[in-house]
Structure 1
């Protein structure tokens, strides 16, 4: 049986690991997109056919920056609960977007880690992408639920 003291010692380490993993994923996703030509960033968003043309560029260019900012904040552990909630919402939006593309019969690459756009029929990976993003969502929810962690700015500030 796990004692309350042992639980209090272990939870911050689990959250620290979750913070680092989610930060690495968000950074990788953002960096892969931000280093692509802007036209490809916009094309990946357009492929979903969910937003008006006037917003696809803004989302295409802004999303990678948001992912990198969230990654840095998670890595240093600043505003951890808030950043985890924003990350969870972002993952839920990604899951919804992929599910929507799948349900509407679109044949696209999610563009989650760069690339994106139309692909040949049968080349989609919607189920695995959704499962992957559900795991990322679970990490964000864990961090939001148990935000105290080791080696964090929040800890240094006593937050």
Structure 2
């Protein structure tokens, strides 16, 4: 009886071990399949987004926003420098003057390249960084209770508020959508790439 009981326990243990092993080895392929399916869905979604007109609209609107925002600052960097000083972030007047001259031109180039659809990925990274920096600066001013001109568009007086912060956040979301989606079909860089492919085929 004792031997039979031992054998039964050994058999039961082996059966249990076999079940555990089967469960473990079954889970791995399922996990891998799920990961592959998820990645395939992401790729398909990116492809669908790249064909949708709203991606072109996001890029075009952002380009217009940056272009319009740069014009007054390029023409009057002194007023923009005063707006930057009002944030009380930079202690050096030299740094402020440098930013007042360079930032508007960076905005201008971002606007032009976004509208035309050139270097879209790189410009979207730069645009997102600028919008994030503007948002952080405005949040800091609001926390400290500063009632100052945000210096967002041209040199029109517009006090930093929840509205200006919300608007900046909306533009940031649009910029991130453009950044993380495939470049839309209505860009100059895609047109140049297609033209080059055709010429290569003809040769």
TM-score normalised to structure 1 length = 0.84
Number of matched pairs? 149
Instruction: Provide the residue aligned with 2:78 in structure 1.
Output: 39
* Equivalent position to 2:57, from 9, 17, 39: 17
Q: Tell me how far 1:8 sits from its aligned partner.
A: 2.7
Unaligned ranges ≥5, structure 1: 118-122
Q: Tell me how far 1:125 sits from its aligned partner.
A: 4.0
Q: Tell me how far 1:146 sits from its aligned partner.
A: 1.2
Runs of 4 or more consecutive aligned structure 1 residues displaced over 3 Å after TM superposition: 9-12
Q: Tell me how far 1:100 sits from its aligned partner.
A: 0.6
* Equivalent position to 1:140, from 168, 175, 178: 175
Contact 1:87 1:140 in 2 (8 A): yes
Tell me which protein shows more helix as a share of its residues. Answer: 2
1:124 aligns with 2:159: yes
TM-score normalised to structure 2 length = 0.67
Unaligned ranges ≥5, structure 2: 1-43, 195-203
Instruction: Provide the residue aligned with 1:67 in structure 2.
Output: 107
- Name the Cα RMSD after superposition: 2.3
Instruction: Provide the residue aligned with 2:122 in structure 1.
Output: 82
Instruction: Provide the residue aligned with 1:48 in structure 2.
Output: 87
Task: Determine which structure has greater relative contact order: mean sequence separation of CA pairs < 8 Å that are 6+ residues apart, divided by chain length.
Answer: 1
> How far apart, CA to CA, are the structure 2 residues paired with 1:34 and 1:69?
12
